[in-house]
Chain A
C-alpha cells in the first residue's frame, strides 16, 4: 500500500505533472509564466528548475498560438500540457480548441489524434467581470472533448494522471479557490477514470448534484443539516463530459429529490443539462421538481459584497433544501 499524505490540491496537480514528466520524455508543459515564474497560481513551481526549459516552456501571451502549437505538437507525437492561465483567456483560443483540438480525430476520419491536456483555472476573487467566469459548459458542449473539474486533491491528481495517459484532448479545469484545499493523496501514480462521478457523502433525504468548489459548499451544508437529522447525499460529477448519469440516477432513485448546484450561470448552463436529464429519466422517481442553485445572472462585480451575493453559499443551499423537504 502506498503511503497516504495530506497535500494541497495545488501540490497534487504538481505531483501528477512531475510523475508524467519523469515517466515520459515526450511530456512538455507550455504556457504563460509556467517556467521561470513558476505559474501564476504556483501550480508548476519548481518544475522548471527540475526539468529545465526544454520541458517546461514559457510562451508569449498568445492563447491561440499556445493551443494551436500544442495541438500540432500532439499530432507530431508530443504529449503537451498546455496551460491557459485562466479559463477567461480560453475564449481567445476557443477556435483552436473547438475547431482544431476537438475535431482533429473525427474530421479526418480517425486517422489523426491530438491528445493535448489543456489545464486552466476557473474562479474569482474581486477580479471583476472578465476574470471571474465559469465557462465549463462552453467546452462540455462540444463532442470530441473530455472536460473534467475536480474538487479534491485526490481527484485532481487521479484525473490529471488519467489525462496524461489519454489519447483524447482533455479540458482540465481547476478552481483557483481550491488550490490551497488539503486532502489525503496516496503517493505514487494512480488514476481516477473519466466519466465516473463520486458520491462524496451518502444520504437518503435529498441529493445535491454538483462539482468543483460547490462540492465543498454542499458538504458544509450537508453537515449542518445532519444536526437536524436531514441526510443529504452529495454527488460530485468530476467529469462534465462524459457525465456519469448512472451514479446521478442511482442517487435520485434513493432520495427522490435533486438540487443541482453550480457556479456557472443558470441559463443554458451545466445545471440546465443535468436538471433536464434527471427530470426526463427519473420522472417516475421524483417526489419534487428538480431545483437549481447557480451563480446569479450578472457579470461579476468587483465590490466584495456584491461578488459574494452572486454565488450560492451554505445558507442559501440549506434554505433551498429545506424548502424542497417541507
Chain B
C-alpha cells in the first residue's frame, strides 16, 4: 500500500535477519494479547470500571510487536499515551497492566498513572506520556546518558504523526542530530491527529521527510507488515547503536477505534474504516502463517484460547485487587531524603 521512500539507509529485503516459525507464532500471540486486552479494557470502560481516557491501539499492533522484536530487551522505550500495546509487547504481565487501568494498588505504577502512563523500568519501558510530543526530548536525554556513560543501549521514541508538528519534536531531533545521540524515532502515522487528517495539519504528509531535514536516515514503511517493521527497526537500531546518530522511521498504519472513548468520529466514514479492515495486521499475519504452513486453524485457536485465558485472569486480578490506601495520596511526590 505504501511505497517505501527511503533515504540513506535502505531497507534491503536480503536482510539476513531470519524470521523463524517460533518467532512468527509468538508475534501472533502477542498481537492477539494486545487486541484482546484492549477489548476487555473497552468493555470495562463501558462498565465504568476504567475511567479517564482510554486510547486504543487496535489495528496498530504489528508496529509494537515488530519493533520490540527488533530491539534489544535493554533498549529504552518512551511512548505516547496510546501505550498499552508497547508495554504488553515488551513482555510486561497483563495483570498489573489491567489493574493500572482499574486504578488499583497492584497496578504497574500503583494506580497513579492509569492508561496513559503505563511503565515498567525493569523492562526498560519508561512510560507513556500524555502531553503530545513531551516525551521526545526525554528519549533524547536517555540517549545522551547512554552515549555519555559509554553504554551500547539505544533510546527508542514512539510518537504519533501529530506529534511531529509540535516544537518539542523539532528541538529534540535537532539536539539528537547535533550530538549524534543513539536514539531511534518511530512515528506511527495512523492518518489522524485526534480528528484532524494528516494533510490538514502537516506541511508534508510524508512525515519521514522531517527526519531528513535534520539529516538523519529516515524511511517510510508499511507498519501493518510486521516482518518489515521488525527488519527495519532492527537495522535502524543497529545503526544508532554503532554511533551513526539518530534515525527516524515512519510506519504507516490505521486506527480502527476512535481517538479515545466517546469519539463520534465525524472526521471519517464507516465505509472508510471498513475499507481498511483487510489490512488489519493481525489478520494479515494470521493468513501469512497459514500460507507458510507455520500454523493451521487448530493451532491458531489454541493460541487465541491461551490469550483469552490470560486476559480473563488479568481482568480477575484487577477486579480482585484493592484500591490504593488513602495514605498513598502523599507518597512518591518527592524522593524522601
Assembly CA distance A75 to B127 (angstroms) = 12
Do A95 and B148 touch across chains, with their CB atoms under 8 A apart? no
A20 an interface residue at 8 Å Cβ cutoff?
no
Assembly CA distance A167 to B335 (angstroms) = 6
| Most chain A beta-carbon neighbours within 10 Å: one of B140, B172, B334, B335 | B334
Do B171 and A77 touch across chains, with their CB atoms under 8 A apart? no
- Interface stretch of the complex, out of A63-71, A202-210, A212-220, A276-284: A63-71
Q: For residue B316, give the distance in angstroms from its CB to the closest CB of chain A.
A: 22
Do A68 and B172 touch across chains, with their CB atoms under 8 A apart? yes
Q: What is the interface of chain A, defined by CB distance below 8 A to chain B?
A: 26, 28, 54, 59-60, 62, 64-65, 67-78, 95-96, 99-100, 105-113, 115, 143-144, 146, 166-168
Determine the chain B residues whose CB is within 8 A of the CB of A109 once the complex forms.
107-113, 332
| Most chain A beta-carbon neighbours within 10 Å: one of B121, B139, B155, B175 | B175
Q: For residue B241, give the distance in angstroms from its CB to the closest CB of chain A.
A: 15
Do A68 and B136 touch across chains, with their CB atoms under 8 A apart? yes
Quick one: closest B residue to A78, CB to CB?
B145
Do A62 and B175 touch across chains, with their CB atoms under 8 A apart? yes
Given known A-B contacts A78-B148, A109-B113, A143-B333, A60 and B142 have beta carbons under 8 A apart:
no
| Most chain B beta-carbon neighbours within 10 Å: one of A59, A69, A78 | A69
Do B175 and A95 touch across chains, with their CB atoms under 8 A apart? no
Assembly CA distance A71 to B155 (angstroms) = 14
Assembly CA distance A127 to B121 (angstroms) = 45
Give the residue of A69, A143, A167 whose beta carbon is less than 8 angstroms from that of B137: A69
Determine the chain B residues whose CB is within 8 A of the CB of A100 once the complex forms.
129, 131, 134-135, 138
Quick one: closest A residue to B335, CB to CB?
A167
Give the residue of B108, B112, B144 whose beta carbon is less than 8 angstroms from that of A69: B144
Give the residue of A65, A77, A143, A167 whose beta carbon is less than 8 angstroms from that of B145: A77
Within 8 A of A (CB), among B111-151: 111-113, 117, 119-121, 126-127, 129, 131, 134-146, 148-149
Do B175 and A96 touch across chains, with their CB atoms under 8 A apart? no
Given known A-B contacts A59-B175, A62-B171, A77-B149, A72 and B144 have beta carbons under 8 A apart:
yes
Determine the chain A residues whose CB is within 8 A of the CB of B129 once the complex forms.
100
Do B141 and A107 touch across chains, with their CB atoms under 8 A apart? no
Do A96 and B141 touch across chains, with their CB atoms under 8 A apart? no
Q: For residue A196, give the distance in angstroms from its CB to the closest CB of chain B.
A: 14
Determine the chain A residues whose CB is within 8 A of the CB of B117 once the complex forms.
107-108
24 pairs, A vs B, C-beta closer than 8 Å: A60-B174, A62-B174, A64-B171, A65-B174, A67-B137, A68-B138, A69-B144, A71-B137, A72-B139, A73-B142, A74-B141, A75-B145, A76-B76, A76-B141, A96-B168, A100-B134, A100-B135, A100-B138, A106-B332, A107-B127, A108-B112, A109-B109, A167-B337, A168-B337
Determine the chain A residues whose CB is within 8 A of the CB of B112 once the complex forms.
106-109
Assembly CA distance A144 to B334 (angstroms) = 6
B178 an interface residue at 8 Å Cβ cutoff?
yes
B10 an interface residue at 8 Å Cβ cutoff?
no
Assembly CA distance A111 to B122 (angstroms) = 9
Assign chain B's interface to a size class: 35 or more
Do A73 and B144 touch across chains, with their CB atoms under 8 A apart? yes
Assembly CA distance A51 to B92 (angstroms) = 42
Beyond A71-B138, A75-B126, A112-B119, 7 additional contacts (C-beta under 8 Å) are A68-B140, A72-B144, A76-B76, A100-B129, A109-B113, A111-B109, A168-B337
B12 an interface residue at 8 Å Cβ cutoff?
no
Give the residue of A60, A73, A99, A105 whose beta carbon is less than 8 angstroms from that of B148: A73
| Most chain A beta-carbon neighbours within 10 Å: one of B121, B142, B149 | B142
Do A72 and B171 touch across chains, with their CB atoms under 8 A apart? no
Determine the chain B residues whose CB is within 8 A of the CB of A168 once the complex forms.
334-335, 337
Do A95 and B119 touch across chains, with their CB atoms under 8 A apart? no
Render B29-67 as a binary contact track against A, CB cut-off 8 A, 1 for contact.
Answer: 000000000000000000000000000000000000000
Render B277-290 as a binary contact track against A, CB cut-off 8 A, 1 for contact.
Answer: 00000000000000
Give the residue of A72, A146, A167 whose beta carbon is less than 8 angstroms from that of B141: A72
Determine the chain A residues whose CB is within 8 A of the CB of B167 once the complex forms.
64
B331 an interface residue at 8 Å Cβ cutoff?
yes
Determine the chain B residues whose CB is within 8 A of the CB of A166 once the complex forms.
335, 337
Q: For residue A107, give the distance in angstroms from its CB to the closest CB of chain B.
A: 5
Quick one: closest B residue to A162, CB to CB?
B337
Do B144 and A95 touch across chains, with their CB atoms under 8 A apart? no
Within 8 A of A (CB), among B279-323: none
Quick one: closest B residue to A242, CB to CB?
B334
